[in-house]
Structure 1
Amino acid sequence: MATVAELEVRAGRRAELGLLTVAWSIIVLSRALVDYHADFLVLSTLGWYALGAAVLMVACHIILRRYAPQADPVLLPAVFALNGVGLAMIRRIDFAYAQYRGRDTDFGTAQIGWSIAGVVLAMVVILIIRDHRKLRRFTYTAGIVGLVLYLLPLVPGLGVEINGARIWISVLGRSLQPGEFAKIAMVVFFAGYLVTNRDTLALAGPKFLGLRFPRPRDMGPLLVVWAAALLLMVYERDLGASLLFFGIFLGMLYVATQRISWVITGLALFAVGAVAAGVIFPHVRARYDGWLHALDPEVYSSGTSYQLVGGLFGMASGGLFGTGLGEGRPDLVPYAESDFIIASLGEELGLTGLMAILALYLIIVQRAFRMSIGVRDGFGKLLAAGLGFALALQVFIVVGGVTRVIPLTGLTTPWLAYGGSSMLANWIVVGLLLRISDQARRSSQEVGP
């Protein structure tokens, strides 16, 4: 007779299979609409695409059923749906470049390859890492690896500067963005460090206005991370990675200590550093001018805010329901397939479509935080919270930059935007979260009702 745990596993995996079916429908329908409006719809090609997506999804489902039976049933379908919409939009942008610009690009096909590689990598994580707690052994190793990855673009002969930002390296003739992998290593490091030192960071320090502030000798880690974030901003000209790097640390520090004073201190430090960098360094000041004065004729004519304004007008033309998938002009905005894919989706899917996409991101982040609550070891709690916060902050930075809430950055939208580094790194995050969720549910069953 089946136990309660076995029944719960079956119910969870059945729910996952049903949600994967919905995600598969979204993937196939998006591709079909793009090809139809481009007069490029070939049913045999669409059939092979649908079959490939189905095989990949079923393979992931079988692996989870066998090696992580308690894993969260919602996470994988949500990510597949986002990935599929991104693939369809990038293919649509390829058609737009060919039709209106005379450019033959193949971003869509390349992105399919990166997506398959990312899914395989996530499943490899599931197969290799049977217990996330073992990652704690590599706390300081992960910290060193993360810093090295962030600093690699500064190495002469290895780093490559593109569009004024030095955040890429050249490997075998291809560009790679090591910062995407560095964020995972830094989350592992922060989780291991904070779970060891959280009592000292949480309990000690003087009180002021009802808040307990950190002691000067406990400020060392915060100051080191702050200095590293400023280094990224100034020398690599990467405001997005700087904000993401520092924001992840502050978010995990708050989760570990439950002290808002750490967040206030960190935000004050970052504000002082950002303002000083804007005053001292011309390239940082130019980025701020493009944000604050985007519609000024002088700023726009200089090209500083051309991309930002083009994205805003594109989303405005989409309105509430959009022009229709395959019916807009995303080619009018530079780098529509990568930095500004949110603007491209906003034009063709409208505000309604963007809200649906953001809702999927909200579901993914919510599941990550739920895993953090459910898992019983401190390292796992911080690791799941850190990965969830990294995704949430990255989406906020990208969408906030495109909609002019914050200065524009060079970060990519997870699973949507074109880019191999981002795709591989974010699928690794999915693998880690699935493994943590499996461990969290196992722990809750061991404790009993």
Structure 2
Amino acid sequence: MGNTEKSVLKGIYAVILIMFTILSLSISGSIKLLDFGPILFGLSSCILIAYSNFIIKHFFPEGDKYLLIISAFLAQFGLVMIYRLDTSLAIKQITWFTIGIAVFIFLVVFLPDIQKFHKYYNFYIIISIILLASTLLIGSEIKGSKNWIRIGSFSMQPSEIAKLFLIFYLAGSIEKIKDLKDAFKVALPVFIAIGFLVIEKDLGGCLIFFGIFITMLYIGTSDIKYILLGITSFAGGGVISYFLFSHVRKRIFIWLNPWKYKFDWGHQICQSLFAIAEGGLFGTGLGLGHPEFIPEAHNDFIFAAICEEFGLLGAMAIILLYLILVYRGLRTAIYAKDNYSRLVAVGISSMIAFQVFVIIGGVIKMIPLTGITLPFVSYGGSSMLLNFASLGVLQKISEEGYRANG
């Protein structure tokens, strides 16, 4: 292990233990009555990160190890905040985090050459559309969006899985585009998928699907006219959706003037803005704020809770970590050994980037609120598993690219 990587890991372990120790002190209020629950969580996380990094470094030394390190570090900010809000949810979250790490390692170990998947691109978009359509038949409405499927006490979002299948579809089909007719054939299934998301009131999913599509289309074709046509079509669909669907109009009204609806529709965003303002530059301190006043603070609005207790400096640190993660993903794309792997890496990187932009933009009222999870940080099992699975694919592409380039 290089000296830089060792230094980064030591710094991460120190920050994790400091955060959970401070949380322990804030809960107990006294060193004599120290609550060791948060400290145990911090130690468990450090051991898990160290063990998983050792496995990847020892058995697969060629790839980009920072993909795992950065994502695991981001998950700790979410875990400490979720523990601070609800211990029972934190126990579930660290379980999903552990499973996510296991999925990451499993894919790196057993996933075959990514290039072998390129020929099945039509199968991927069929699966993606089936997953999105399934919620219309057997889905449940949660937080206003009918994009969840419940199985007993467990609930999942099929759209999370559909994102990865969409990326594999686009990576295989975009390279076959020769003219406008081909571009239309590729785009049509994507807009059908986005149509299902509109019907299910999953506006965040719409933006992310379109962001992935337009980014991969531009990287794969370098033809600006396809991008302009795509943006024009999406904008037209947005205008039509505004007049057809009341929930779209409601989100626009809240965005334009949340204070008018502060006791009703706009309550979440108003509480979010209050929390961000209360945190200021340095934050109130971990355990000293009131994130419990923010609806869905453990999920959609966890960034606002972080802003309140960690301050804008802490929020900027989170954003910088995401920028580094996306940069490492795009770097993986540059050194990929073939065009298909390159497009898959671009798709996964853009998926993370757009998801971060959409949720943070909504929480700070820069764009209309959509209600999606912050990757690796927000509470949620299906999101955690999908994101680590996506990084596992990125790690595999990184390994293959290093071997191909010597």
> Displacement, 1:58?
2.7
**Alpha-carbon shift at residue 239 of structure 1 (Å):** 0.4
Residue 413 of structure 1 and its aligned partner are, at CA, apart by 0.2
Q: Which residue of 2 aligns with 1:228?
A: 193
Amino acid at match of 2:134: L
Q: Which region of structure 1 is more displaced relative to structure 2, 307-316 or 144-153?
A: 144-153
- Per-residue Cα deviation, 1:45-77 (whole angstroms, up to 9, x for no partner): 455434422332232123212432111132222
Given the alignment of the two structures, is residue 31 of structure 1 paired with residue 20 of structure 2, yes or no?
Answer: yes
How far apart are the structure 2 equivalents of 1:118 and 1:194? Answer: 30
Note the 1:300-449 alignment, pairs <5 A: 300-301=262-263, 303-445=264-406
Q: Report deviation, 1:382.
A: 0.2
Matches within 5 A, 1:129-148: 129-148=111-130
C-alpha distance in 2, partners of 1:313/1:193?
46
**1:387-419, Cα deviation, whole Å (9 max, x unpaired):** 000000000000011111111112100010001
Partner of 2:69: 77
Task: Give 1:108 deviation, angstroms.
Answer: 1.0
**Code of the aligned partner of 2:96:** W
TM-score scaled by length of structure 2: 0.94
Letter in 1 for 2:20: R
The 8 Å contact of residues 16 and 77 in structure 1, kept in 2 or not, is answered as: no
Q: 2:9 aligns with which of 5, 13, 20?
A: 20
Check if 1:186 corresponds to 2:150: no
- The code of the aligned residue for 1:36 comes to L
Match of 1:280 among 244, 248, 271: 244
Shift of 1:347: 0.7
Q: Say if 1:16 and 1:150 are closer, same or farther in 2 by CA, change over 3 A.
A: farther
Unaligned runs of 5+ in 1: 1-9, 95-104, 205-214
8 Å CA contact 2:17–2:43 kept in 1: the answer is no
Alignment pair present for 1:168 and 2:148: yes
8 Å Cα contact 1:67/1:126 also seen in 2:
no
Query: Which of these two proteins has the greater Rg computed from alpha carbons?
Result: 1
The structure-2 alpha-carbon separation of the partners of 1:421 and 1:269, relative to structure 1 and needing over 3 Å to count, comes to same
1:112-127 equivalent positions in 2, closer than 5 A: 112-127=94-109
Measured against aligned partners, the alpha-carbon deviations of 1:62-108 in whole angstroms (never above 9, x if no partner) come to 321243211113222211110111100111122xxxxxxxxxx6211
1:287/1:408 contact within 8 Å kept: yes
Q: Report the TM-score when normalising by structure 1.
A: 0.86
1:180-219 aligned within 5 A: 180-195=160-175, 197-198=176-177, 200=178, 204=179, 215-216=180-181, 218-219=183-184
One-letter code aligned to 1:224: P
- Between stretches 35-44 and 435-444, larger displacement belongs to 35-44
What does residue 219 of structure 2 align with? 255
Deviation at 1:136, TM superposition (A): 2.1
Aligned residues of 1:319 and 1:347 also touching (Cα < 8 A): yes
Aligned amino acid, residue 252 of structure 2: Y
SS at match of 1:169: strand
* Structure 2 gap ranges (5+): none
1:230 aligned counterpart, secondary structure: helix
Q: Which amino acid aligns with 1:178?
A: P
**1-structure distance, mates of 2:103, 2:6:** 20
- Give the conservation status (yes or no) of the 8 Å contact 1:184–1:387: yes
Per the alignment, in what secondary structure is the counterpart of residue 295 of structure 1? helix
Q: Decide whether the 8 Å contact of 1:251 with 1:389 is kept in 2.
A: yes
Amino acid at match of 1:248: I
Paired amino acid for 2:217: L
Aligned 8 A contact 1:250 1:266 in 2: yes
Does the aligned pair in 1 maintain the 2:271–2:294 contact within 8 Å? yes
Which secondary structure does the structure 2 equivalent of 1:413 belong to? coil
Letter in structure 2 aligned against 1:165: S
TM-aligned CA distance change 1:27 to 1:154, over 3 Å: same
